[in-house]
Amino acid sequence: MGLVRKVVCAMSGGVDSSVAALLLKRRGYSVIGVFMKNWDSLDENGVCSTEKDCEDAYRVCQTLDIPFHHVSYVKEYWNDVFCNLLNEYEKGRTPNPDILCNKYIKFNLFHKYAINTLGCDAMATGHYARTSLEDEEVFRQRRAAPPVTLFRDRFEIRKPVRLFQGADLAKDQTFFLSQVSQDALRQTLFPLAGLTKEFVRKMAAEAGFHHVLKKKESMGICFIGERNFENFILEYLEAKPGNLVSIEDGTVMGTHKGWFTLTLGQRARIGGQKDAWFVVDKDVLTGDVFVAPTTNHPALFRDTIRTERFHWMAVDPPPELARTQMLECHFRFIHQMPLSECHMHTLQLQGKCVCVNLSVCCSSLAQFAVLYKSGECLGSGKIIQLGPTEHTLQQASNSACSRKIKWQRKPESLWK
């Protein structure tokens, strides 16, 4: 009898992780289901959704006849993810807690728990994604991490593991995995890589997972759930009322409870107007939030961004970028948004930052810039600076401004 591989499956109480565990067991692996608790407060209705999710995950494990564990990372989630979220909102930015949760919690602490504490050969999740490794290649990875040295061993023979989009492009979740480390990716299985969501739901029904099929798909903040965002964020940040100001003529159109309650591209609640108005900029020094009418106003669109230090999934940047300092690829900054063509180039600071120029102007640019090429997720970088909007460029042109505008610096404090 051959060696039975031991795999920990992260169980969320949802359809995807339930079917992932089912598939792992069908492959003959010794599967352990583990539920992560990362948040412990009640929602607006006084319900703790975490308890219900944990119960649902336990029922699935009972049905599959596999061991069930649960582990708490409430403190770590607060320190590494949620405090970062609050800090970013206070600066006027729009963070992405799902990317950070995967980076710091699931593919870091949970990964170490699966491999080191439970002694498993690999971990698995219900993400719609795939890597360049087959299952047996994952199991052959060395458990011991390479020694930490000042310089990388140039004789290291391991090839980098690459992250690719799954078969269901409509459900592709590589966006959320774009900051995961090589060590974690190297020891992770994605059982749903070749499946569509429709087929996964069919498998769940056939397996009798009816209690998870009834649940709505999670669309809220990672491990916190769907909330009234303004009410939720004001529980943690002190209200700082300010004005909603027209980007066109400076007219005060209304008021808000804090610039951090609004995100770029979001509809602003302004009564008595023929057209809907949308957030196009913020000034965290004055508290003013700038708004513009209609969904196609030029103040919403721009075609240049800059990121902070870029995280390459394969550790090193693509050879073409390293050789020419430029790369043609595709870009998205929101999960499930269509990929846009772009070309990028490295900036100073030893190529740690990148500048992305989009072929088509996009609105509501925020969060992380995630890059793709030929179905491969190359990595991501947090957006820290935006180029000028079409409205800014039009104003400069109309005023016969001859100097070239490289970056929109107003409000400067937004990007510190």
In 47-180, which ranges are E strands?
Answer: 68-72, 122-124, 129-131, 163-165
* Cα–Cα distance, 55 to 224 (Å, whole number): 16
The three-state secondary structure class of 108 is helix
* Cα–Cα distance, 370 to 60 (Å, whole number): 34
Told to judge if 222 belongs to the known catalytic residues of this protein, a careful annotator would answer: yes
Contact by Cβ (8 Å): 370, 362: no
* Cα–Cα distance, 152 to 239 (Å, whole number): 48
CA dihedral sign, ordered 80, 364, 278, 247: positive
Contact by Cβ (8 Å): 289, 279: yes
Q: In what order do the strands lie in the sheet with 242-246?
A: 252-256, 242-246, 289-293, 277-282, 267-268
Told to judge if 401 belongs to the known catalytic residues of this protein, a careful annotator would answer: no
Element housing 381 (H / E):
strand 376-386
* Cα–Cα distance, 335 to 383 (Å, whole number): 15
Q: Which of 222, 329, 362, 377 is catalytic?
A: 222
- Number of Cα atoms under 13 Å in the Cβ half of residue 311: 23
* Interacting residues of 121 by C-beta distance below 8 A, sequence separation 6+: 5, 6, 7, 138, 139, 187
Contact by Cβ (8 Å): 123, 114: yes
**The two structure tokens encoding residue 409:** 């610096």
CB atoms within 10 A of CB 193: 16
Ramachandran area for residue 31 (φ above 0: left; ψ -120 to 50: alpha; else beta): beta
Q: Which of 9, 54, 61, 101 is catalytic?
A: 101
Long-range CB contact pairs, 108-111, < 8 A, 24+: 108/181, 108/184, 109/73, 109/76, 110/10, 110/34, 110/36, 110/71, 110/73, 111/183, 111/184, 111/187, 111/188
Residues assigned a catalytic role:
101, 222
